[in-house]
Structure formats: structure tokens, C-alpha cells
Structure 1
Amino acid sequence: MQQGQQGFTLIEIAIVLVVIGLLLGGILKGQEMITQGKIRSIEKELDGVAVAVLGYQDRYKALPGDDNGAKARWSDATDGDGDGSIEGNFNASEASAEPKILWNHLRRSGLIGGDASSFDQPFNAVGGRTGIQTNLSDGTKTLVTGLVACTTNLPAKIANAIDAQQDDGNPGKGSILGFGQSAVNTPDFSTAIAAYVDDGSTSYTLCKAI
């Protein structure tokens, strides 16, 4: 007479649970490493953009995007109006906008890499856009005076980490300000936020004074 199939022993079950725990721990650790990599990449990008803009200003005595001598330097370039301000929104879509011209000037100068014919704002590590403008207003008052670098589409965890590591972790004050978004790549500067809410769906824009 055949004996019935025996079930798992407690030791075997314990081993399986340990293996599952190790696998889950490895996955979570891997995800955290990916997130930390994105944080470092975005921080490096914001710092690098500031260095490039100030380097251009030092070299050519004009701001990229606003430079009205670019066409004389590169025959097929587009000039800015030369008033000392990068006018328009950092995420402008029109090629004639100075925040778009800025990226073309930086690429032509060799201060950043990329296609020298491109006017596009670069993507950040989470698929958002990074850009520069002069002054930042909520529609009624000026929030930042001078040059500001902004980057979009950041999950709360990443936005909060960058703000905390490079500033004070408060989206409403300091050298880094945080904003909600009304659409992809479109910050809502009119409404202040009190905290970065990690609900898995809300994206944020960070703006850093240069």
C-alpha cells in the first residue's frame, strides 16, 4: 500500500520564508538604490546647469538665451534681446523664447553637451524637464529675484530628498522652492504647498536660486 505524500516540514517552510524574505529585501534595496541614483543625478544636473550659465556669462559677458551677440559668434544662431534677463518661463515651448534659446547657446558654446542645433530643455532623470529663467513670481509677488533653475515631474520622495539635502526640506521657503503641477511639466506657481505628499501620483517642480 502506497504511503500518502508527505507535506513540507517546518524547517523546509522556514527555509522558503527566509529565501522569500531575502529576495524581497534585495528588490526593495535595489529600488532604493535606483531612487538614490535619480536624486544624485538631478542634484548634479541642477548644479551643472548653474555652472554652465555662469560660465557662459563669464566667457561672453552675456547671459545665454539673452545674448544679442550670439548670431555674430555663430552665424546661424538666434539672438536674445540683450536686456540682461532671461525672459519667459523656463518650460517655454516656443523656439523664440529666451529660456529655449538658452539651451542652444549653451550647446553651441560647448559648456554642455548635445546637438548644437537643438533648443530643447534637457530631460531630468525622471522624464521631466530642466530649465532656467530670471525671477519667479506667484502672480502677485516675486518669490525669487535673479536666475532660477527649475526641474519638473518629481515624485514626492525625490523632491523632498533634494530639498532636505540641499536646503531646508520646506517647499515654501529657502533657496529651493517646491510647487505642485497643473499638468505634466507645468508647475502651479500660484499656490504654495506646505509639504511634499507621497501619495504615489502627485508630481512636483523644484526651483533653485542660482
Structure 2
Amino acid sequence: MRTRNSRQKGFTLIEIAIVLVIIGLLLGGVLKGQELITGAKVKALASDLKNMMVYINAYQDRFRSIPGDDLTAATHLTGATNATTPGAAANRGNGLITGNWDPTVAAQTDESYLFWQHVRLANLATGNSTVGAADYPPVNALGGRMGITSTTPVTGQTGTFFACANNITGDMANRVDILVDGAAQGAQGSLRVRANTAAAAAAAVAAPVATTLYTICLST
């Protein structure tokens, strides 16, 4: 009896192996799920940036003007505000979007701020079209701001329009860069990485740190 009871205690090697296999499968499933979620976020971020360019083209095809820079927006969009960028009148209706990419409520007459009202009223983008509303500023796939401008946001970056998103980790910035430009090269290509500041322009970051937050900008 004592011999039989002692043999019944503990697990056999086969049982332990089965448990380890099950644990391995569970961990693999969790890691695969996390990778799928990360991949979806990367694609969503890239789409956020590219869609702003799509909005410009679609709006221009329909109204022969650039959203935000539209001098007669109120005539074809109910409730819209015509371009009234502070400063020289030559900046209005000139085919460019003036103002920082992430304008504050205090700068709500900037073309980069009115851009979102125009594309939303034109049913090209979703969101609150009430200028100055708390939920008016657009949010990117990671919860940060996104916006567009013709004012160069990254030193040395060239283009007519720059679509930006902030609060992006270095790891995600590299992943988006690879998706857009084919390589993680934050200081080269059409997508640039810069410090996560509100400055109008900042130097590009060639090697983003994985856990540090950055702003990414796509030019066209």
C-alpha cells in the first residue's frame, strides 16, 4: 500500500511536458495577439497621415480650393468659416495651409485649424465641426493630436503639405516609417521623426528611442 501511494504523488514527465506545451501555446497566442494589435495601430497611424492628403485632393476636386485655405467655404458649406488667416492677405486662397500643424483654440482662425471644419462639413472626415469645441481637435490612432500644414514642421523636410501626429513612441515611429518609406530612417524619406514639442519646426531624429514620445510628419 505504501509503495502504491508513493507512486501516485506528483506528475509524470509526460504530464509536465503536456503542461509546458499548453503554457507555450498560450504565451504564443498572447504574443501573436499583441503583435496583431500593434500592427493594426501602425496601419491606422499611416492611414491617419495619408488620409489628410486624400481630404485635400477630394476637397480640391469638388470645390477647386484647398480646405482651410478656402476663401468661399461658406458659399458651398453651410456653417463654414471662410479662410481668414491672420497676417498678409496674400496667404489666403494661395493654395497653401498656413499655421502650425497643431493649432490651439487661440489660433482657431488659422487655416490649419479651419482645415478640419471644412473637410468635416464636406463629409470627407468625421468629427465635430464646431470651431472651438473641446472635441474639435482631431485625435490620431494612439490618442495624440494630428493635423496638417504647409509650414515646415521638421528642419530640412521638403514638400507642400505636411501631415503630422504626436505622442508616438519611438518603436511605433520606426514601424510606421518602415511601412511608409521601407526603412526606419527618421531623418530621411517622406516620413520624418522629430521631438514631441509644439515648436513650429524641430530637427529630425535619425534614431528614435523605443520608449520616448515623438512627433511624426509625412510630406507630399
Q: Give the structure-2-normalised TM-score.
A: 0.82
- The Cα offsets for residues 145-165 of structure 1, whole Å up to 9 and x where unpaired, read as 411111122222221122112
SS at structure 1 position matched to 2:147: strand
1:157 aligns with 2:167: no
Q: Which moved more, 1:44-53 or 1:1-10?
A: 1-10
Q: Aligned residue for 1:100?
A: 113
SS at structure 1 position matched to 2:142: coil
CA shift in 2, pair 1:181/1:158, >3 Å: same
- The Cα offsets for residues 31-58 of structure 1, whole Å up to 9 and x where unpaired, read as 0000011111122222222111122122
What root-mean-square deviation, in Å, do the aligned CA atoms of Structure 1 and Structure 2 show? 2.3
SS at structure 2 position matched to 1:194: coil
- The Cα offsets for residues 69-123 of structure 1, whole Å up to 9 and x where unpaired, read as 1123335321213242211111111222221110000011112233443562321
Residues 135, 144 of structure 1: 8 Å contact kept: no
Return the match for 2:126 from 110, 113, 120: 113
1:191 aligns with 2:188: no
Amino acid at match of 1:89: N
Q: Aligned residue for 2:188?
A: 173
- The Cα offsets for residues 131-155 of structure 1, whole Å up to 9 and x where unpaired, read as 11003155xx653241111112222
Q: Which moved more, 1:158-167 or 1:32-41?
A: 158-167
Q: Unpaired segments of 5 or more residues in structure 1?
A: none
SS at structure 2 position matched to 1:110: coil
1:53 aligns with 2:65: no
SS at structure 2 position matched to 1:20: helix
Q: Aligned residue for 2:213?
A: 203
Return the match for 1:89 from 80, 84, 100: 100
Residues 195, 202 of structure 2: 8 Å contact kept: no
Return the match for 1:20 from 20, 23, 26: 23
The structure with the larger Rg is 2
CA shift in 2, pair 1:142/1:69, >3 Å: farther
Q: Give the structure-1-normalised TM-score.
A: 0.85
Structure with higher strand content = 1
Instruction: State how far apart, in whole Å, the 2-side matches of 1:145 and 1:7 are.
Output: 69
Q: Aligned residue for 2:158?
A: 144
Instruction: State how far apart, in whole Å, the 1-side matches of 2:127 and 2:142 are.
Output: 19
Residues 52, 112 of structure 1: 8 Å contact kept: yes
Instruction: State how far apart, in whole Å, the 1-side matches of 2:199 and 2:175 are.
Output: 19
Amino acid at match of 1:160: N
Q: Percent identity?
A: 37
Amino acid at match of 2:150: T
Q: How many pairs does the alignment contain?
A: 203
Residues 52, 106 of structure 1: 8 Å contact kept: yes
